[in-house]
Structure 1
Amino acid sequence: MFSSVLPAVEMPGLQLLACLGAVLLSQTGCVCGDTQFLERHEGGSVTLPCVIEQRNTSPLGVYLKRSWLRPSEVLFMLTESEFTAGNDEDKTRISISGDPSGHSVNVTISQLSVSDTDRYYCEFVVENPSSVDEQVPGKTEFFLLVNADAPGSADVGLVETCAGGSAVLPCLASNGEGLAVEGVSLKRQRGRAPVEMLYHSKRHHGSSSPSSSSSQFPAEKVQLTSAPGPGGITFNLTLQQLQADDSGLYSCQLLLRGRPDGSTGLGRQVFFLSVQAQCGCSSYSTLLYVLSSAVAVLLLLLLLGFVVICKVKSRRRVITHTQAPIYEEMAGVQAACRKLPPCQEEMEPSEYRNCPVKKSCPENHYESPSGALCPRRESEMKY
């Protein structure tokens, strides 16, 4: 199920540029902001700051919604009005400071319980006179984890990716270093207790077989890689083809020879994996529209300039090849005929030459009264 290969090389620059160009041209409104991980314990409280960029039109209201384990509407607040909670039980433990018209509000949830674990985001309602009102997401999305246990010493990191993408999680030994690695275990926590998502070991795991393997991920979605590092061989677990439902807290632990592997909790290094259903940054949507509009205007100007240049060249070509007036042609023909020498031969009636036609006189001829030496016509001759 696993293969030991070097970590994959990052996306080439050309592919990244092509992806950026597609985003700019498509102008798709994707919703994705910065994700903030918040860890709290039962009975505590948390404050979620809802903020959007300043606009010429003030927002009319704001929503707070859950979008993962229990998708629902937490609250809604109109400008200069009291908020309404989606659940009457939450009304007493939620408070809001600020007003939506100021482009920011702070939502405080107290008396937290494990059931409050979820992904939260804000949406501001902005009036649009020419169409329906816009719902603008806040700058930050929140993942709230409420633990029932006392605070631990685990370090929590953040790993973000898009739906269909992949994530690399480093695997560390639960205890002990420098021992032979015999397997790997991956646990995920989204509620009260962690759940083992993957187990692969040469030892038996609840069975009599010398080796065992189990996974809640398809085999093609999991890949274990190893590479030499400063402290020895490092192991990474790559999860591929991820979806939004795969979000949660993950901990990858190496199973070492001679060490027990019966731990039920997360390891000493935990990662919050956030898989966004759609990628793009809502805070940059205006910038994307401006850039794409500028590109469209530039292309239009270039097209208009090209058309104008073509028309100018075509007009010059027509002027250059314009025919001369007919009287100029006739004058030119007459001048050329004057320069031609007179013909000395008698031309046939069917032939056409641009020269005067003269007939040569025969040697024996009659003298005309006018003294011209030309033959007389038969009708004029008298015998």
Structure 2
Amino acid sequence: FVTPDLCPVCSGIKFIERSEGESVVLPCRIDQRIPPPIAFYLKRIWLNATEVVFQYTKFDFSASNPTDKNRISLNGDPSNYSVDVTISNLRTSDTDRYICEYIVKRASSEDERIPGTTEFFLLVSADIPSPMDLELIGMCAGGSTVIPCFAPHNEDLAVEGVTLKRKRGRAPVEVVYHSKWHHNGVHSQFPAERVELSSESGPGGITHKLTLQRLQPNDSALYSCQLLQSGRPASRTSLGRRVFFVSVQDSSYPTLLYALSSVVGVLLLILLVVGTVVIFKGKANRSTKSHPQAEIYEEMIGMQSPSRKLPPRHLEEVESSEYRNCSVKKSCPENYYESPSGALFPRKASQK
């Protein structure tokens, strides 16, 4: 069972066939992680897409259809990464694809939904199921698959055509019919451009096969292609001895693009914030440089800055103000920053 990369297909699909009235156990598992799950879902995703059961850790489960709770039982707990779901008294209406989903709580974001490691395809028949050789085929939406056609009784008779039957519900339905005796050649429920019949010679003789193209999720079903042989009536009520379960999943490219666009958006937002901070810091630095502060000794002695010329009268006011707290009898300390004497400014006669 192989699926292309980037397809959100479960790691495995398990086919289970039962008769009406029997029981089935669906083991739901996920890999251990921290923190452990807080809740669990069992869902149908094909014929009747709905939630089947829900269980919150350490609590009893609830069923979407209350009448089903009497025939459903759970063993295990979501916090233990393992829950076994048993469905008893099966009905043909239980035929569907089932997936398990665990809920992990995230404090800083929306709760995370983690699918189980296995998807289950449950087929419930009204009569005793006949043995069949089943092959699983998985693909993304838009892909194609080749279904070989086989003789119903392994008899080497002349081939007059092929018939393809599909089973999604209770009984198989003929979706492609091709016969050399049919006046239109091919009768198909698929659009003609999506079906291709081909033949090729091999060691075992001529083999016939049908190619179904541009498949979509609603095309998922059991398929069986049989040869129409001369003198043998074709059965239209049952599948052939070789059956293919075709599982078509939504392509993950939209999801991938959405995730990439989200990451790019976050990065652009971060770059925008960082750029804004850098621009504001640059403006602040330029503003500081455009208005330099006078050095402290210039402020103390009243030197004129080259950028701003003070009138001479202002200089006299500064000089006189420097000494208004000094006693005439006690001179101020000899400090070029407090008492302008020496080479900078000669001491005046009144200060000597």
What is the TM-score normalised by the length of structure 1? 0.63
> Aligned residue for 1:188?
166
> Aligned residue for 1:57?
35
Q: 2:101 is matched with which residue: 104, 123, 134?
A: 123
Cα distance in 1 for partners of 2:241, 2:145 equals 19
- Is residue 2:191 matched to residue 1:218? yes
CA contact (8 A) 2:17 2:129 kept: no
Large movers: runs of 4+ above 6 Å: none
Structure 1 residue 66: deviation in Å? 0.7
- Is residue 2:258 matched to residue 1:258? no
CA contact (8 A) 1:58 1:101 kept: yes
Cα distance in 1 for partners of 2:110, 2:160 equals 60
Q: Report the AA paired with residue 219 of structure 1.
A: A
- Give runs of aligned pairs for residues 57-96 of structure 1, distance below 5 A: 57-96=35-74
Q: 2:80 is matched with which residue: 102, 105, 114?
A: 102
Residue ranges of structure 1 left out of the alignment (5+ in a row): 1-15, 24-28, 293-383
Q: 1:40 is matched with which residue: 5, 11, 18?
A: 18
> Aligned residue for 2:118?
140
Q: Report the AA paired with residue 130 of structure 2.
A: G
Structure 1 residue 262: deviation in Å? 4.4
Structure 1 residue 31: deviation in Å? 5.7
CA deviation vs aligned residue, 1:168-213 (integer Å, no higher than 9, x gap): 1110011353222211100011111110001010124xxxx5x643
> Secondary structure, in 3 states, of the residue corresponding to 1:92?
helix
CA contact (8 A) 1:45 1:110 kept: yes
Cα distance in 2 for partners of 1:137, 1:98 equals 17
Cα distance in 2 for partners of 1:67, 1:176 equals 36
CA contact (8 A) 2:139 2:248 kept: yes
Compare 177-186 and 240-249 and name the one that shifted more. Answer: 177-186
CA contact (8 A) 1:50 1:104 kept: yes
CA contact (8 A) 1:31 1:278 kept: no
Change (3 A) 1:30 1:232: closer
Which structure: larger Rg? 1
Structure 1 residue 112: deviation in Å? 0.4
Q: Report the AA paired with residue 198 of structure 1.
A: V
Change (3 A) 1:278 1:93: farther
- Give runs of aligned pairs for residues 139-288 of structure 1, distance below 5 A: 139-204=117-182, 209=183, 212-278=185-251
Number of residues of Structure 1 aligned to a counterpart in Structure 2: 257
> Secondary structure, in 3 states, of the residue corresponding to 2:149?
strand
Cα distance in 2 for partners of 1:174, 1:260 equals 10
Change (3 A) 1:111 1:278: farther
Structure 1 residue 30: deviation in Å? 4.0
